[in-house]
Chain A
Amino acid sequence: MTSPADTVVRKGLSPRKRAQRSRLIQYAILIALVLFALFSANWGQIGSVFFKPEFIKATFQDGVLQALVKTVEYTAGAFVIGLAGGTLLALMRLSSVGPYRWIATAYIEFFRGLPAIVVFIAFSLLPLAFEGMTIPFDPYGVVWLALGIVASAYMAEVIRAGIQAVPKGQIEAARSLGMSPGLALRKIVLPQAFRIVLAPLTNDLILLVKDSSLVFIIGVAATGYELTGFGRDLANTYSNLTPIVVCGFCYLIITLPLGILVRRLEARAEKSR
């Protein structure tokens, strides 16, 4: 239906104008949505369910900060196990000995493919399956192990990539100085590999912080509650979601700085390239 003259006019709309119009439409949609939310939502009820001041206070009095500390403790221990296990698995994957490679690959694929919650359910059932079995440092031992087993699978792949990113000339220089393969690995390759993967490893740490919420599945005592278990328990007690919201913000206290750190590290890596 368009006549030749019409198309000429369409083409005449400059890219800048077209972008301007598109932006205008986007703003209009946004404003409409905000207005709709403002007038349709029952703000009083939302406030009293999610942000009730007396429950915010109660959440702090009941020890949300303790739960925050527990979350950090669970995560930190699991990160250490994940780092050690991940490094070992990465080295196994790069081994010249076939069976080591196969075992590591099988482990990594298995635990990466499995929902973490399945591992936690398995750990929660362990004492039933093996009567009298105890894992030391209760409850830390179980939590660290369950989280660390999954984390090591993820971290192994990151660390492997880091090791492979170290230039071959570095290994040759180390060898030419008479370093044994093991010494070259410890002093030259791994320190550089970890620098390279600092940002992605911090990302894994953030995931780990969130995965620590699965601890409530294992069924730890109330004194061992981390943020999610604590928040859920309290929300149940008060029949109000405020404690969960407070706990949610507590996660952000941990993860937001880590996110900023990742971005800094990435920027630094970009610069040194």
Chain B
Amino acid sequence: MTDRPLVHAVNVTKSFHHNEVLKGIDLDVEAGQVVCLLGPSGSGKTTFLRCINQLETIDGGRIWVDGDLMGYAERGDKLYRLKDKEIAAQRREIGMVFQRFNLFPHMTAIDNVIEAPVQVKGESKKVARERAQALLDRVGLGDRTAAYPAQLSGGQQQRVAIARALAMQPKLMLFDEPTSALDPELVGEVLAVMRELADDGTTMIVVTHEMSFAREVADTVVFMDAGVVVEAGPPADVIGNPQHQRTKSFLSRLRSEHS
């Protein structure tokens, strides 16, 4: 089983009130890969991302991250829902960056970053602080460690949020439309940090509408629509030469919006 991909999702289904938003998603992500999920809003890409770290429970199918079955224990041929604490332990391995940053407003930037390592992993404050400083340096905010989220721009907040997720030294990073809530002039600084992470070999799954990022950074692009994967492959194929009508019309709509 050692050759299994880092993320291995099989036939994932999910409904909200009889509305089936995921209709059997399969996805493999190798360690070190960057996968971009594209698709129109309501296609289920964000829901799928949230299923990976169990912010949503799945109705059917299975998701493994680094060999761990997410959210469940398998005994015989039955699945048992894990306890909250066990799910929390699984989530430590997976960093997540949200559209609306979700920094803790009552803590400074550096306290946001050290909170989980100290409280969850039991690291000493000193060690956590040193690493947090290094991470904030890395996202270009080494001089704003004492600032509260309200004192930071959206782009700065999102970069702190990335540092916060990285502080747990996760095996996998999930990005849920990380630049969608930003003013256009602040998008670049966040994407630059993400590019750097990708270059360093971080395994990333990114829900995004930033085509140039997907084209230049992603190893695999997955186009989703109406709860299914329409097509997946290298960006040159999916974005450069889409095979399906739904992909083509989505991309052309996106292009006309951006020009």
Contacts and interface: CB of A to CB of B under 8 A. Distances in A.
Contact of A175 (B91, B95, B161): B91
Given A183-B119, A272-B150, A178 B89 contact: yes
Contacts of B105: 192
A96 to B, nearest CB: 11
A188 B104 CA distance: 7
Interface string A167-206: 1011011111111110100011001100100000000000
A179 B119 contact: yes
Interface string B86-108: 00110111111010101111100
A180 B92 CA distance: 10
Given A188-B104, A272-B150, A177 B98 contact: no
A175 B88 contact: yes
A200 to B, nearest CB: 18
A178 B115 contact: no
Contacts, number: 65
A169 B164 contact: no
A191 B116 CA distance: 16
A169 to B, nearest CB: 4
A167 B85 CA distance: 22
Contact of A180 (B88, B100, B150, B168): B88
B146 interface: no
Interface in B38-61: 53, 55
Contacts of A188: 104
B131 to A, nearest CB: 14
Nearest to A177: B116
Nearest to A181: B84
B120 A170 contact: no
Contacts of B119: 179, 183, 187
B165 interface: yes
A172 B168 contact: no
A177 B91 contact: yes
Interface residues of A, number: 20
Interface string B112-126: 000110011100000
Contacts of A195: 106
B102 A173 contact: yes
Contacts of A178: 88-89, 91-93, 116, 120-121, 168
Contacts of B168: 177-178
B75 to A, nearest CB: 23
B58 to A, nearest CB: 16
Interface size grouping (class) on chain B = 20 to 34
Contacts of B94: 176
B106 to A, nearest CB: 5
Contacts of A187: 115, 119
Contacts of B120: 177-179, 183
B92 to A, nearest CB: 3
Interface string B126-169: 00000000000000000000000010000000000100110010
Given A169-B100, A187-B115, A176 B106 contact: no
Given A178-B168, A179-B116, A170 B100 contact: no
Contacts of A272: 150
A177 B121 CA distance: 10
Given A173-B103, A176-B98, A195-B106, 10 more contacts: A169-B100, A173-B96, A173-B102, A175-B91, A176-B53, A176-B91, A177-B168, A181-B84, A181-B88, A192-B104
24 contacts: A169-B100, A169-B102, A172-B98, A173-B98, A173-B102, A173-B103, A175-B88, A175-B91, A176-B55, A176-B94, A176-B96, A177-B92, A177-B115, A177-B120, A177-B164, A177-B165, A178-B88, A178-B92, A179-B119, A180-B85, A181-B84, A191-B106, A192-B105, A272-B150
Interface of A: 167, 169-170, 172-181, 183, 187-188, 191-192, 195, 272
